[in-house]
Amino acid sequence: MPNVLVVLACFCIILVLNRVKMPLNLSILVGAIILGFSLGYGPVGITRTVLTSCLTWETWRLVLIVVLILALSRLMKETGQMKRIVETFHAVTTSQRITAMILPALIGILPMPGGALFSAPMVEEGLKESHLSPEHQTAINYWFRHIWEYWWPLYPGVILVVSLLRVETWRFSVFMFPLTILSLFAGSLFLFRKLKDDASDNDPKSRAAFSSFISEIMPIIIIVLAILLFSLLNKGMQTILELPDLSDATLLFGIMLGVIWIIVKQKIPRLEVKKAFLSSETWPMVLLLFAIMIFKGILIDTDAVSLIRDEFAYYHIPVLGIVILMPFISGLITGIAIGFVGVSFPLIVPLFESASPMIYLAYAGLAYVSGYMGMMLSPVHLCLLVTRDYFKANLIGIYPYLLKPAGFVFGVAFIAFLIMTSVL
């Protein structure tokens, strides 16, 4: 059986197991083991990969970040700050549509793994009168959380693709920025059809409430500013003092400052802080993280993506097909932007690097959008999984809501590519 079908079959197994009520972390772990055996990996190799994946700094960094996000989210909810964020934003605009768009988009500025978990309680609070299904609310939170990652230079995937393409960051960001506008339009068009705002309550209550809103989102502002500050300090220490690169820890430091700020500002007792960190909701999420990293480790150690690439070459799939399919499948497999960029772009960039500058960006942009849609539809995308877990939604039931905006964005990007390559 072709390797691409083996990988897709394992994804289907994960979805089916979860459908029959097996916990998602266990479903992914079973899928990873089946994939390993299917690609010729023996018990010793699988055991080694499991242990290695669970002990890496990348895994534990993700665990620490997600635990901090969960604690911060719980503290903000228990102190009423989460509710006040929604209430003060409603004072700026009472539209459920705008609330459901802006709040996850606001969190999306932060390049944090599983960040959709942070905005999920806000979306739930903002949509509590809408009577939308858990799957629908999951799709709204998930989609608008990810409108920035096409170009926002704080995201690791953007940083890596700029490096691999060898173009200026501003040039890539300006070229890709329209996709954020397109994603906002697509999400509004397809995800809000059943959401009706009360026409009598659409006018802003008070513009003065904007300052209150800023005050309530101060933990988020602190995290963003701390990430920027730590990034600058890290760059300076590398350049001037030749110290090791600590960029992996900047996000961790930023979230820690946000947690400390809310604990001090709200004067939260130690017992409540302890409860926030040791909540029963935390451990399933931690286990889910380990399962995802084990799955990723199996994919890497079995060289699954390279095997699929070789199959494409064998069947003489054209350049445009490879530029679209390789990032898409890589995104579907890894569920993370830096994953599809790191795996596929070194393989596809040589296919179009001799083109003129604008055509070069056109191919790169199409490849990135394709990988992005694969990532957004990936059943192992952390944000999708944690949001689904928060809303207790059916994983398969989320996809009908995601396929339409994802297909629309890719379709418009593909048409734009065809126009650019025929005109320039």
pLDDT per residue over 289-343, tens digit each?
A: 888 788 878 877 888 767 777 777 777 778 898 899 888 988 887 788 887 887 7
pLDDT band at residue 205, thresholds of 50, 70 and 90?
A: low
Q: Which of 2-16, 198-212, 385-399 has the lowest mean pLDDT?
A: 198-212
pLDDT at 146: 93
Pairwise CA distance, residues 347 & 262, whole Å: 45
Pairwise CA distance, residues 344 & 373, whole Å: 14
Pairwise CA distance, residues 272 & 268, whole Å: 7
Pairwise CA distance, residues 272 & 291, whole Å: 29
State the Cα angle at 78 between 262 and 292, rounded to 5°.
85
Q: Which long-range contacts (CB under 8 A, 24 or more apart) does 408-412 make?
A: 408/186, 408/189, 408/190, 409/179, 409/182, 409/183, 409/186, 409/369, 409/373, 410/369, 410/370, 410/373, 412/182
How confident is the model over 380-398, as a mean pLDDT?
A: 89
State the Cα angle at 148 between 354 and 72, rounded to 5°.
140
pLDDT at 355: 76
How many residues are there in the chain? Answer: 424
How confident is the model over 235-261, as a mean pLDDT?
A: 74
pLDDT at 200: 47
How many Cα neighbours within 13 Å face the side chain of 166? 6
Asked if 312 and 358 touch (Cβ cutoff 8 Å), the reply is: no
pLDDT band at residue 365, thresholds of 50, 70 and 90?
A: very high
